[in-house]
């Protein structure tokens, strides 16, 4: 039986056909992050990362319909290729503006595939949580396609 989540928690588990080192790099290296961050229809137009405990990051996703949506946070825990914990806040005037959440991501590799477990909390309410499910799920679809492209390119070269 799965974990029972409170109304202020979001949990998404996704399997990527790529090694944990690549999936971790996609969260911690701007050149990868900008290629997949944001739901379908959004592009990541700006990203800066200081990947160390206490270091910060900031990025902006943008779409023609929604304009710019900047966000930022601070890294709390980093275990290379295994675990990443950081704060997350939208820096805009939307309904979740300036509400800081904590994101915990674990990466478990098995047979060349990586299971990413993504947990974000606390949301103001279930409605705000649910509004993020589609966005993150869509971004993870883009991440999976990006990772598959890199993994296949590596296989083509070998």
CATH code of the domain in which 107 resides: 3.30.530.20
Domain assignment of residue 24, yes or no: yes
Whether residue 1 has pLDDT greater than 80: no
Domain assignment of residue 61, yes or no: yes
What's residue 125's pLDDT?
A: 85
Q: Tokens for 144?
A: 């999976």
| Alpha carbons 16 and 110: distance in angstroms, whole number | 10
User: Taking each helix axis from N to C terminus, what angle separates 126-157 and 20-28, rounded to the nearest 10 degrees?
Assistant: 120
Domain assignment of residue 2, yes or no: no
**Closest CA relative to residue 120, chosen from 73, 152, 67, 155:** 73
Domain assignment of residue 45, yes or no: yes
SS3 32: helix
Please answer whether residues 57 and 37 qualify as being in contact, where contact means their C-beta atoms are separated by less than 8 angstroms: no
The 10s digit of each residue's pLDDT in 56-93 is: 999 999 999 989 999 999 999 999 999 999 999 999 88
Q: Tokens for 20?
A: 């944990």
* 97 DSSP assignment: B
What's residue 95's pLDDT?
A: 76
Whether residue 34 has pLDDT greater than 50: yes
Domain assignment of residue 115, yes or no: yes
Owning domain of residue 87:
10-157
SS3 28: helix
How many domains does one find in the chain?
Answer: 1
Domain assignment of residue 122, yes or no: yes
């Amino acid at each position: 039986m799965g974990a029972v989540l409170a109304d202020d928690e979001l949990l998404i588990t996704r399997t990527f056909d790529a090694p944990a080192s690549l999936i971790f790099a996609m969260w911690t290296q701007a050149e990868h992050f900008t290629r997949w961050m944001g739901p379908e229809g959004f592009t990541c137009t700006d990203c800066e990362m200081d990947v160390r405990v206490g270091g910060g990051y900031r990025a902006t996703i943008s779409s023609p319909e929604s304009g710019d949506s900047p966000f930022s946070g601070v890294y709390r825990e980093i275990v290379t290729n295994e675990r990443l914990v950081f704060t997350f806040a939208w820096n805009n005037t939307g309904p979740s503006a300036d509400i800081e959440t904590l994101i915990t991501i674990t990466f478990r590799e098995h047979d060349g595939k990586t299971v990413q477990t993504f947990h974000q909390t606390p949301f103001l309410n279930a409605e705000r949580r649910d509004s993020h499910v589609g966005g993150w799920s869509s971004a993870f679809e883009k991440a999976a396609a990006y990772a598959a492209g890199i993994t296949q390119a590596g296989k083509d070269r070998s």
